[in-house]
Amino acid sequence: MRLNLTINGNALSYDAAPGDSLLSVLRKLGYYGVKHGCETGECGACAVLLDSKPVNSCVHLAVQADGHQIETIESLGEYPEQGWKTTAGLHPLQAAFVESGAIQCGYCTPAMILAASELLSNEPNPTEYQVREALSGVLCRCTGYLKPVQAVLRAAAVLRGEEVEPIGTSIPVPPGWIPGENELGKPKDEIFSPNEQPIPPGSVVTPMRVMPRIQMAPETETWHHVGKPEIKVDAIKLVQGKPAFTADFEKRGMLIAKVLHSPIAHARIKRIDITRARNLEGVAAVLTWQDIPRVVYSTAGQSDPIPGPLDSFSLDHKVRFVGDRVAFVAAENEEIALKALELIEVEYEPLQELFDPERAMQPGAVIIHDETEYVNFAESDPTKNLAAQIRIDIGNVDKGFAEADRIIEGYYDVPKVQQVHIEPHVVITYWDEDDRLVIRTSTQVPFHVRRQLAPVLGLPIKRIRVIKPRIGGGFGGKQEVLIEDVAAHLTIATGRPVIYEYTREEEFIAARSRHPMRIHLKTGIKQDGTITANAMYTLSDTGAYGCHALTVTGNTGHKGMALYVGDGPYRKAPNIRFYADIVYTNHPPAGAYRGYGVPQGFWALERHMEKIARELGLDPIDFRLKNALRTGELHPFSTAWSEGREPRPETIETCRLEECVRQGRAAIGWDQKFGSPAWRLGAGQPHLRRGIGVALVMQGTAIPYLDMGSASIKMNDDGSFNLLVGATDLGTGSDTVLAQMAAEVLGVPVQDILVYSSDTDFTPFDKGAYASSTTYISGTAVVRAAEQVADRIRARAARIINKQAMGEKINPEDIALIDRQAIAPDGSRISLSEIGHDAFHRVDQEQIMGIGSYVSPVAPPPFAAQFAEVTVDIETGQVVVDKLVMAVDSGVIVNPITASGQIEGGMTQALGYAVCEEMVYDQAGRARERNLKDYHIFQAHEMPELTTLFIETFEPSHPFGVKAVAEIPIDGVAPAVGNAVFDACGVNVDDNPITPEKAWRAIQQGNLV
Ligand code: FES
Ligand code: FES
C-alpha cells in the first residue's frame, strides 16, 4: 500500500503493509528518536506529533498517517557546530532538558519534549499543572519527573523572552543551617508560575531551582569540576534522539527472533515438533533443546565465582514457570516469526506445581531442580528446593533476649515488583569479518556477558565481542545475562545477524523482578529503648531459578540489620541474627533490582522500629538514633558475611545520620506536625487524616575484595583526552561523573574528556553497573589513570618550560594543571594542546596514556533519613503521598544535578513499591500484570512534592571522598509511608504496597484514631 507521508516537512512515499504501525514505519525510515517501549499505547515512548497533536505511534497504523504531517524529535533542533556549517542549534526545550538535568537514560526524552512542544505551542505560559498533564502520557522510570517539569517551565520562559536564573547557581548550606518549611516550600520568588493562574488543589508547586540543597564538605572548596553541576556528557545526543541505543542499529539481512514461552508452570516436554514452523516460508531457524549443547550456567551477571547455583540452560526439556523458554525462532520479519511460534507443536507432561514458599522445603514437596547437571553453591540444596541458605549470628542473641525487658515480634511481607526500564531488553548478534561473534546488547554487565556466555555458546572468550551502547534504564534488570544467548544461538544456527527485543508482556512474564519475601523480626528492648538483641528470619521466593538468590537476600540482612546495633554495652558488642532460606517455586525467577534486597529488609525493620517506639512510648526518631550505628564503629556484619571474599573487619569512617535527621525533619516540618491533632485532622475534610513518617536507612558502596573497575585515558594532540571505561552508564550519569573526576585531575573542562563506554574489545575490564559501585570503584580507577597521564604531562611540561627558561629549574611535581594549561610556580605556563602536539610530533615522541584499576578493601555505607507525609481517606482507604523529603549522606556529591536526579527517581520508584506496584499470579502461576496499564507506575501528574538534601561527608577511602547514591533512595520510602499511614489513622499495614483495599481493611479491623 503506497502511503504519502510528510515527515518533519519532507514529503515522501512509502510502501507499507496494511498492518504496519506508524512506529515501525518511522523507525524503518531512520527516525530513531521514536522509541519502542510497549506495544499497547501505554508508555508514550513512541509519541510523535500527527498534525501537531501527540499520538502514540505504536498503536497508530501507518495508513492512518497517509496524507498527514508527522513531526518527530529530529524536527526540533540539532547540534549547533557542524564543521563548516552551523545550524540554529538546539530548540529551547532541548536546551532546557540538557541544562536542567532532565535526562537520565534519555529513552523517554524525545517523547517528553514533543509532548511539551505541543503544549507550549498552544499555551506559552503554562502552569505547572498543565505541564504535568502534558507530560503525563510519557512514562519515565528514571527522573521522578521533577527536572523534566522544571525544564519545560524554563523553556517556556525562554520562549517568552524572559531571563532565567543560571542553572549552576550553587546553593551551599552552612553547617548550622536548618531550612524552615517555607524556605524549602513555596517562597514566592521561587515559584515558576508567572501567569498567576490558580493552581488546582493537590498539584505540586515546584521551586524553580534545579540544584539540591547541599551541606558541603570543606575538602571540596578548591575543586573546579568535582562537586559542580556539569552537563551530562551524553545529554546532547539524547535530546536529539540520535541512534544511540541497541535497537537503533541495523545490519543488512537481519533476522527477527521470537521465543515460544511455556503456558504452564511445571512440566516436562514430552514431544516437540517444529516441522511445520521450520517449513514456513521466511523462517530461517527453529531451535529446541535438542538442537543446542546442554550447558548448565547461571544467568546472574556477577563476578567469578558466581555466588549462586548453576541451574539454567538456554533451552531445556523441562519448563519451570509460565513464561519459561520452549523454543527459539528466527525469521525474515516479525509476522512470520510469530506465525512460526503458533506452528510449533508441544506435548507437555504436567508436573505438580509449587507456588507456596512455605511448602517448598517441607517433606514431599515436588523437586523443581532434579537435573543431574545442577551445580551447588555454598548452602544450596535442590533436593529441598533450597537455592541458598544463610545463617549469621553476631554476638549472643539468646543472651541479648534474656537481658531484654520486652521482646516484640512482627511479620512483614514484601511483594514481587518489576524494574520497568522503559527500554525493553534488546540484543543484536552477528558474526564479524573475522568470524568473531559480536553481541550488541543493552546490558549492565558486558564483561560478565562475555565470560558467562562463552561456554554456553561453545566459543572461547576471545571470539566474543560485547558492545554496550546507550542503555535505556536497567535498575538491575539488565544485570542478568537474560536474552543474549537467544540471539547468539540463532546467529550461530543461521550465520545471519539477529535482533531479539522483548515485548512489554515478555518483560512481565519472562524477565526478572524483586524477590518477594516474608520476614519475621524479633527484637529485645530495655525499657529505656536500648535494643539488646535483634533477629530477622527471611523466607525469600527466588522463583524457578536461583539467579542472585544468595546475594540479594544476604543484603536484606547485611544492610538492614546492620543499622541498629543497640546502645551502651550493646553498641560495642551487638547481638544480631540473620537467618534466611531462599527457595525455589514455580513463579517466574526473581533477580537483581535496584536496592538489591535492601528495600525488603528496611520495609520490615523500619515498620518494626516504629511499632516498638509507639509501644514503648518513645519518640520514634530519638529511639532510632539512640540505637543506630555511628562513625568509628565496626560494621557489625563485616566480620560475619560478605558478598565477595572472606569477611574482614570494616570501620564506619563517615556517618552523618544525625545531621540527615536534623535537616530532614526541619525540611518537612516534623516538629510542627508530628503529634499535632490539629495538623492531623486539618486536611480540610472530616474523612481525611494526615500523617507523617520517618525511616532511617543505609546501603553499601561496591563489593569489597571482589569487584574490579578499570579505566584508560589517552591524550590527543589538541589536549583533549579519550577516557575508555568498561563501566556502564544506565542513565545514572556515571559517564559524566567519571569524566568530571578525570577533568579535575587533568585540569581541563569536562567537554575535553571524550568518554567511551563500553566494548569488551576496546575498553578495559569493569565488573559493570551494580552494587552502587561505579562512582566509587570505577571512579578510583579513573583517578589512577588520570594521575599517570598528569604525571607524564607535568614531566613534558617541565622539560619544555626548563628549555625555554634561563633561571631556576622547575620540578614536574610543582606544576599545576588548570584551565587546559600546565602552570609552574613562577607563573610560566604551557598549554595542554602544545604538550599533546609535542608528544606526537616533536621530541621523545610518545602516546601519553594511563591505565588504572581498583578493587576496594571496604564498602563504606551511605546513610539517609527518609521522611514522608500522607493523606489517608478513611472511608476508601486511599493513601495519597503528599511529600517526600530525603536527607542523604553519600559522601562528596560529584554532580549535584545528576545525584539529585538519582534521589528523585529512586524515591519515585520506591513510591510505587509503597502504594501500588505488585506482581500477582493466579492459581496456575499465570501473571495478572502483563502491561503498563495493569502494572501502574507513577506518572508526572500524580507525583508528590520531592525534596533532596545532601549532607556531605568526605569518605577517606576514595580520592574525592565519595560514597554511593544510586540505590539508597529506594530503601526508605515504603516504610516511611507505612509509618505515616499509622500516624494518620493508627492502623498498621504490614504487607506492602499499601493499596486502598489493604488500608481500608486495616481501618475496618483496627483502632482508628
Ligand atoms: S511504545 Fe507506544 S506507547 Fe509504548
Ligand atoms: S530518562 Fe525517562 S525513562 Fe529514563
Is pLDDT larger for residue 644 or for residue 43? 43
Q: What is the DSSP letter of 33?
A: T
Q: Which amino acid, one-letter code, is at 752?
A: D
Closest CA to 620 of 632, 628, 612: 612
Substitution candidate for ligand 1 out of 31, 46, 112, 935 with most atoms within 8 A of CB: 46
Rounded Cα–Cα distance for residues 406 and 423 (Å): 50
Q: Using most ligand atoms within 8 A of CB, pick from 21, 31, 48, 56 the residue to mutate for ligand 1.
A: 56
658's CB contacts (< 8 A; 6+ apart) are: 625
**DSSP string over 494-530:** HSS-EEEE--HHHHHHHS--PPPEEEEEEEEE-TTS-
Q: Which helix (H) or strand (E) holds 305?
A: none
Return the residue matching grid coordinates 508482556. 505
Residue 574 contacts residue 436 (beta carbons within 8 Å): no
Beta partners for 800?
none
pLDDT at 293: 97
Predicted confidence band of residue 768 (pLDDT cuts 50, 70, 90): confident
pLDDT digits (tens, 9 = 90+) for 300-338: 999 888 888 999 999 999 999 999 999 999 999 999 999
Q: Distance from the CA of 135 to the center of ligand 2, in angstroms? A: 12
For 16-91, strand residue ranges (E) read 47-50, 53-56, 69-71, 81-82, 85-86
Nearest ligand 1 atom to alpha carbon 57: 2
Q: Which ligand is nearest to the CA of 37?
A: 1
DSSP 537-599: EEEEEEETS-TTHHHHHHHHHHHHTTSB--STHHHHS--EEEEEEEEE-SSPP----TTTTHH
Kindly state if the Cβ of 42 falls inside 6 Å of ligand 1: yes
What is the CA(55)–ligand 1 centre distance, in A?
A: 10
Q: Are 812 and 795 in contact (CB under 8 A)?
A: yes
Least confident piece of the model among 177-186, 818-827, 854-863? 177-186
Q: Pairing between strand 721-725 and 945-951? A: unpaired
731 lines ligand 2 (CB under 6 A): yes
The protein residue whose alpha carbon is closest to atom 3 in ligand 1 is: 41
Backbone angles phi, psi at 46, to 5 degrees: -95, 10
How many angstroms separate the alpha carbon of residue 596 from the centre of ligand 2?
Answer: 20
**Ligand 1 centroid from CA 468, angstroms:** 23
What is the model's pLDDT at position 80? 87
The DSSP bridge pattern shows strands 2-7 and 69-71 to be parallel
Determine the average pLDDT of the residues in 470-482. Answer: 96
Q: What is the dihedral of CA 995, 1001, 1005, 1009, to 10 degrees?
A: 50
With residue 764 as reference, give the H or E element that holds it.
none
Q: Would the CB of 901 count as within 6 Å of ligand 2?
A: no
DSSP H or E segment with residue 3:
strand 2-7
Report the amino acid identity of residue 391: R
Residue 475 Cβ < 6 Å to ligand 2:
no
pLDDT digits (tens, 9 = 90+) for 340-359: 999 999 999 999 999 999 99
| Ligand 2 close to Cβ of residue 131 (< 6 A) | no
Q: Which ligand is nearest to the CA of 54?
A: 1
Q: Check whether 170 has a pLDDT greater than 70.
A: no
Q: Does residue 230 surpass a pLDDT of 70?
A: yes
Confidence bin at 706 (pLDDT 50/70/90): confident
Q: What is the DSSP letter of 934?
A: T
Ligand in nearest proximity to the CA of 901: 2
Distance set, CA 732 to CA 736, 881, 898, 904 (Å) = 9, 25, 7, 12
Question: 106: CA distance to ligand 2 center in Å?
Answer: 5
Q: Is the pLDDT assigned to residue 197 strictly greater than 90?
A: no
Q: How many angstroms separate the CA atoms of 238 and 236, rounded? A: 5
Residue 45 CB less than 6 A away from ligand 1: yes
Name the pTM for this structure: 0.95
Ligand 2 in contact with 588 (CB < 6 A)?
Answer: no
Cα gap 146→142, rounded to integer Å = 10
Question: CA-CA distance, 585 to 543, in Å (whole number)?
Answer: 5
Better-scored residue on pLDDT, 498 or 212: 498
Beta-strand pair 945-951/879-889 = parallel
In this structure, which residue's CA is closest to atom 3 in ligand 2?
A: 140
C-beta 107 within 6 A of ligand 2: yes
CA distance 58 to 373: 43
Q: Could you tell me how far CA 936 lies from the centroid of its own chain? A: 18
CA of 283 to the centre of ligand 1 (A): 27
In the predicted structure, residue 207 carries a pLDDT above the cut 80: no
What distance in Å separates the CA atoms of residue 470 and residue 240, rounded to the nearest whole number?
14
**Separation between Cα atoms, residue 303 and residue 767, nearest integer Å:** 7
Average pLDDT rounded to a whole number, residues 905-926? 97
Our answer on whether the CB atom of 312 is closer than 6 Å to any ligand 2 atom is no
pLDDT at 184 over 50: no
Local confidence band at 857 (pLDDT 50, 70, 90 cut-offs): confident
Centre of ligand 2 to C-alpha 107, Å, is: 5
Ligand nearest to the CA of 59: 1
Give me the pLDDT at residue 276, please. 98
Query: Are 384 and 361 within 8 A, CB to CB?
Result: yes
* Residue 106: per-residue pLDDT: 97
- Cβ-contact 266, 352 below 8 angstroms: yes
Which ligand has its closest atom nearest to the C-alpha of 97? 2
Mean pLDDT confidence for 940-964:
94
pLDDT band for 200, please (50, 70, 90 cuts): low
Span from the CA of 419 to the centroid of ligand 1 (angstroms): 17
Atom of ligand 2 nearest to the CA of 112: 2
Please say if the pLDDT value at position 702 is more than 80. no
Dist. CA 75 → ligand 2 center (Å): 21
Q: Is-contact 439 461, C-beta < 8 A?
A: no
Mean pLDDT over 802-807 rounds to 75
Q: Which ligand is nearest to the CA of 731?
A: 2
* pLDDT tens figures, 970-1005: 999 999 999 999 999 999 999 999 999 999 999 998
Pairwise CA distance, residues 135 & 928, whole Å: 27
Residue 646's pLDDT is what? 75
Ligand 1 binding pocket includes 137 (Cβ within 6 Å): no
At residue 206 the predicted structure's pLDDT band, cuts being 50, 70 and 90, is: low
Q: What is the mean pLDDT of residues 268-282?
A: 98
- pLDDT averaged over the chain? 93
Peptide bond into 442 cis (omega under 30): no
Closest ligand 1 atom, residue 44 Cα: 3
State pLDDT tens for residues 395-426.
999 999 999 999 999 999 999 999 999 999 99
Q: Where are the alpha helices (DSSP H) in 669-778?
A: 670-673, 677-680, 734-746
How many A from CA of 937 to the centre of ligand 1? 14
Does the pLDDT value for residue 645 go beyond 80?
A: no
Q: Give the Cα-Cα-Cα angle 1007, 661, 406 (nearest 5 degrees).
A: 50
pLDDT digits (tens, 9 = 90+) for 439-455: 999 999 999 999 999 99
791: pLDDT strictly greater than 60: yes
pLDDT of residue 203: 53
Judge if the upstream peptide bond of residue 54 is cis by omega within 30 degrees of 0: no
Question: With b meaning 16 or more CB within 10 Å and e meaning fewer, what string describes 272-287?
Answer: bebeebbebeebbbbb
563 band by pLDDT with thresholds 50, 70 and 90: very high
* Across 26-40, 183-197, 601-615, 808-822, least confident range: 183-197
Mean pLDDT for 858-876 is 95
> What pLDDT sits at residue 181?
39
**How much of the chain, in percent, has pLDDT values that exceed 90?**
85
Q: What is the distance in A from the centroid of ligand 2 to the CA of 139?
A: 8
Task: Round to whole Å and give the CA distance between 884 and 915.
Answer: 13
% of the chain exceeding 70 in pLDDT: 95
CB of 56 within 6 A of ligand 1: the answer is yes
Q: What pLDDT shows up at residue 182?
A: 38
pLDDT for 447: 96
Ligand 2 centroid to residue 962 C-alpha, Å: 25
Q: What is the pLDDT of residues 574-625, one digit of tens each?
A: 999 999 999 999 999 999 999 999 999 999 999 999 999 999 999 999 999 9
105-149 pLDDT per residue, tens: 999 999 999 999 999 999 999 999 999 999 999 999 999 999 999
